[in-house]
Amino acid sequence: MQGRHPSAQLVAAESAGYLIDCGEGTQYVLRDLKLGISKIRAICISHLHGDHYYGLFGLLDTMALTGRKAPLYLIAPENLRGILLEIGRSTQTPPSFPVHFIGTSLADTGLNVYTDELISIETFPLDHGVHCTGFLFRAHRPARSMRKEKLFAGFPYAAIRMLKEGKDVYDDGGRLLYRVSEYTIEPAPARTYAYCSDTVYSPSLTGYLKGVNLLYHEATFGSELEAKAHARGHSTAAQAALTAAEAKAERLLIGHFSSRYSDISPLLEEARQVFPETYYAEEGVTFQV
């Protein structure tokens, strides 16, 4: 869209950040929005078109110049590994911190590529004419909480730990002491966020996105340019909404609008005709998952 920066999103979980795509100028926007670059644990690159990764090199350099020591996980098409190695050789400035490169796959099943104590990241294939993947972020399900009315002075700590892990507690003789269903409260389901970068509409995405809490899907063109969208490996706003409806997503974000649209309200309305819970990915705006 006119006046907007190239693709980049920051997923925040507690004190950690996970960057998705890194178009030109990403580090400056992160700085202006006061989103800590040092908190980024992983960077996910969907594909190697410039508007999705040309900002990566400057961001990595800034991380090094500011004294980063923590490891960084880089999840991207395998060809990016060679590009980074060549830049390091040519400039004689390889990263001063560990970079763990994880090459993405176009396998037809969801692939878990990263896990820490907060989230896991899965990839799934997109159809854009080049090696391109989407990303599914899944927050770990919180532990069960104890029913306070069931607790008493001296309640065994070991039993509390086991109950929170979903395990019934027995004594040494095999007699049931505390049942999970009686002493704990079922935790809320794990929250999920999916990112569908550049792609044509494909019903096959439904299997990866089923029931997702928040879905981002590109909507480069309106339906009047559906043929052009398909030819260029993109989707229309209506097709993005159809994907959300088929996946039974809770909410949809659309973005990656063609620069021909100075006003994106027709695209938003087009999507809402199919999937009412549609919003557009606006710079600097935070969406809760």
Calculated CA dihedral for residues 255, 258, 259, 261, nearest 10 degrees:
-80
Give the type of residue at 276: P
The enclosing H or E element of 157 equals: helix 157-164
Percent helix, strand, coil in the chain, to 5, is: 30, 25, 45
CB 224, CB 261: distance < 8 Å: no
Residues taking part in catalysis: 51
**Helix pair angle (265-274, 237-247), 10° resolution:** 30
Q: What are the beta bridge partners of residue 102?
A: 75
Helix, coil or strand: residue 275: coil
Both tokens of residue 126?
Answer: 């997109």
- Cβ 253 vs Cβ 287: under 8 Å: yes
Residue from 278, 218, 195 nearest 1 by CA: 218
Residue type, 47: H
**What is the C-alpha to C-alpha distance for residues 43 and 17, in angstroms, rounded to an integer?**
9
The H or E element spanning position 160 is: helix 157-164
